């Protein structure tokens, strides 16, 4: 990392004595000031209940100083403060479970919009909606989808359908945290009260499931209370290659040092021959989506090259309508042609999502709605 310019450091020091330390990790004054303000607010928080004006200086300044010190060593602010906002939700974060990223928030919001529309507009779609979130971590994707598809405020729901969302993860830490997150957000009234019944988090090894015969995959995913077919499989699986993960690679030091490797790098015992280690989970997800006849499979990817590899894997496997979504929300066809006035891959904005549509009715609807978008 390049050294910070001394002018910047002294400028920061003049504003607040904590800022130079925060700059080490934040790198620019604006984010350092924001983070300092958020830490300050977190430290002051319990005080708000009590009477104003009795603020005792000592212990607070101490708490703030220790937050700043931890942050300067690279610890993510979400582990320090214990939460990350995600849509209207407040997601609890703890070491051992990956922190939700803003890119994930963006495409999950878009996904909810699509699901809502396709449910209303496409033929052959029932009033039921069944979603599976593999590699759910904090549960952020499953919970945000619920908060958007069945919002907690009464005036917002109209004709409602049955919603069922299952989140799977291999990590017990993740499963405990996702359950806590459901209750935490119910208490905050950020989730509809039905979330308790509609959403469940379960233990499952995705790579092991993908090795099972088709029948076993079907019985695992469909109990009698789930609508068939599965409307959506969504997943943000581990997708970083060992080369990208090692020091000097594209993975930042703070991520390597503080977030779980289990959530980031697929295991090196390769299950699928001829598939890169970074792409192992995608091969598993495509196999499961095809076996369970899911209507739509949406996966997060690390960059454009990975998106194109996932596209090729899917093409080789099953007939599908494949889209690539970029970080700026541009939708690009599987041949790289953008569906709106923006650019394809040449602007170097990273691809973030591959969406694989399998259901003919949904594909018909989707193509029409992309035309209307222009």
Partner 1 sequence: MRTLLSPLPNLGNISPGVPGRLRLLRTLSTSIPNLKKNDQLPPRPNIPDDSFTKRFLKGSGPGGQKINKTSSAVQLTHLQTGIVVKSQATRSRTQNEHIARRILAEKLELIEKGTESRVAKKQERASRKKRSAEKKSRRKYRKLADENPGVRAGEEGRQDEDLEEESEEDKDEEELGASEVVKMRIQLPLKPTDQVER
Ligand X SMILES: C[S@@+](CC[C@H](N)C(=O)[O-])C[C@H]1O[C@@H](n2cnc3c(N)ncnc32)[C@H](O)[C@@H]1O
Q: Binding residues for ligand X, per CB under 6 A?
A: 98, 100, 104, 135-138, 140-141, 168-171, 174, 204-207, 236-238, 262-263
Backbone angles phi, psi at 368, to 5 degrees: -65, -40
Handedness of CA 86, 265, 278, 302 (dihedral sign): positive
Residue with tokens 């076996």: 291
Handedness of CA 140, 143, 149, 150 (dihedral sign): negative
CA neighbours within 13 Å on the CB side: how many for 169? 27
d(CA 245, CA 200): 32
Instruction: Among 193, 250, 312, 368, indicate the residue that binds partner 1 (CB under 8 A).
Output: 250
Instruction: Among 67, 239, 325, 357, indicate the residue that binds partner 1 (CB under 8 A).
Output: 239
Using CB atoms within 10 Å of the CB of residue 244, give its burial: 0 to 12 exposed, 13 to 18 middle, 19+ buried. middle
d(CA 374, CA 340): 6
298 binds partner 1 (CB under 8 A): no
Indicate the Cα dihedral angle 153, 158, 161, 166, nearest 10°.
Answer: -30
195 binds partner 1 (CB under 8 A): no
240 binds partner 1 (CB under 8 A): yes
Residue with tokens 């300067």: 72
d(CA 244, CA 173): 25
279 binds partner 1 (CB under 8 A): no
Tell me 128's DSSP state.
E
Nearer to partner 1, 172 or 252 (CB): 252
Q: CA nearest 232: which of 272, 285, 171?
A: 285
d(CA 145, CA 258): 27
Nearer to partner 1, 84 or 280 (CB): 84
Residues near partner 1 (CB under 8 A), total: 47
Look at residue 112 and give its three-state secondary structure.
helix
117 binds partner 1 (CB under 8 A): no
Residue 167 interaction partner, one of ligand X, partner 1, none, beta carbon < 5-8 Å per kind: none
92 binds partner 1 (CB under 8 A): no
Nearer to ligand X, 135 or 331 (CB): 135
- The packing angle between helices 140-149 and 102-121, to 10°, is 40
Residues 45-84 as x/- pattern, contact with partner 1 by CB under 8 A: -------------------------------xxx-----x
189 binds partner 1 (CB under 8 A): yes
347 binds partner 1 (CB under 8 A): no
H or E stretch covering 96: none
Structure tokens at 193: 């009260």
CB of 5 to partner 1, least distance (A): 17
CB of 185 to partner 1, least distance (A): 11
181 binds partner 1 (CB under 8 A): no
- The packing angle between helices 29-44 and 57-72, to 10°, is 140
Residue 169 interaction partner, one of partner 1, ligand X, none, beta carbon < 5-8 Å per kind: ligand X
300 binds partner 1 (CB under 8 A): yes
Residues 97-116 as x/- pattern, contact with partner 1 by CB under 8 A: -xx-xxx-xx----------
CB of 99 to partner 1, least distance (A): 6
CB of 93 to partner 1, least distance (A): 10
Structure tokens at 229: 């077919």
Q: Which residues bind partner 1 (CB under 8 A)?
A: 26-28, 30-31, 34-35, 37-38, 76-78, 84-85, 87-88, 98-99, 101-103, 105-106, 153, 155, 189-190, 236, 238-240, 244, 250-252, 254-255, 259, 263-264, 300-303, 327, 350, 352
């Amino acid at each position: 990392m390049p050294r910070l310019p001394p002018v910047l450091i002294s400028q920061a020091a003049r504003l607040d004595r904590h800022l130079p330390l925060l700059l080490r990790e934040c790198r620019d004054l604006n984010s350092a000031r924001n983070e300092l303000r958020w830490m300050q607010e977190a430290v002051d928080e319990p005080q708000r209940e009590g009477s104003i004006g009795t603020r005792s200086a000592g212990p607070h300044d101490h708490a703030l100083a220790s937050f700043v010190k931890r942050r300067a060593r690279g610890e993510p602010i979400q582990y320090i403060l214990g939460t990350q906002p995600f849509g209207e939700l407040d997601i609890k974060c703890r070491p051992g479970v990956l922190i939700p990223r803003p890119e994930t928030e963006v495409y999950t919001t878009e996904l909810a919009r699509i699901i809502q529309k396709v449910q209303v507009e496409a033929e052959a779609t029932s009033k039921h909606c069944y979603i599976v979130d593999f590699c759910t971590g904090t549960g952020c994707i499953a919970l945000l989808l619920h908060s958007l598809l069945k919002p907690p405020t009464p005036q917002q729901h109209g004709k409602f359908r049955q919603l069922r969302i299952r989140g799977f993860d291999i990590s017990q830490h993740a499963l405990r945290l996702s359950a806590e997150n459901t209750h935490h957000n119910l208490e905050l009234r950020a989730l509809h009260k039905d979330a308790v019944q509609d959403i469940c988090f379960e233990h499952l090894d995705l790579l092991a499931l993908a090795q099972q015969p088709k029948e076993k995959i079907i019985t695992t995913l469909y109990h009698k209370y789930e609508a068939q077919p599965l409307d959506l499989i969504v997943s943000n699986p581990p997708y970083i290659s060992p080369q990208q993960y090692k020091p000097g690679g594209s993975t930042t030091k703070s991520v390597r040092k503080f977030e779980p490797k289990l959530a980031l790098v697929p295991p090196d015992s390769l299950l699928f021959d001829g598939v890169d280690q970074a792409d192992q989970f995608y091969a598993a997800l495509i196999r499961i989506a095809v076996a369970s006849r899911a209507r739509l499979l949406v996966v997060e990817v690390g960059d454009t090259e990975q998106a194109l590899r996932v596209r090729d894997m899917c093409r080789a496997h099953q007939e599908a309508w494949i889209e690539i979504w970029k970080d700026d929300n541009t939708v690009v066809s599987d041949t790289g042609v953008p569906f709106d006035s923006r650019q394809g891959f040449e602007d170097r904005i990273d691809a973030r999502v591959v969406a694989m549509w399998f259901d003919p009715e949904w594909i018909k609807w989707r193509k029409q709605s992309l035309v209307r978008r222009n």
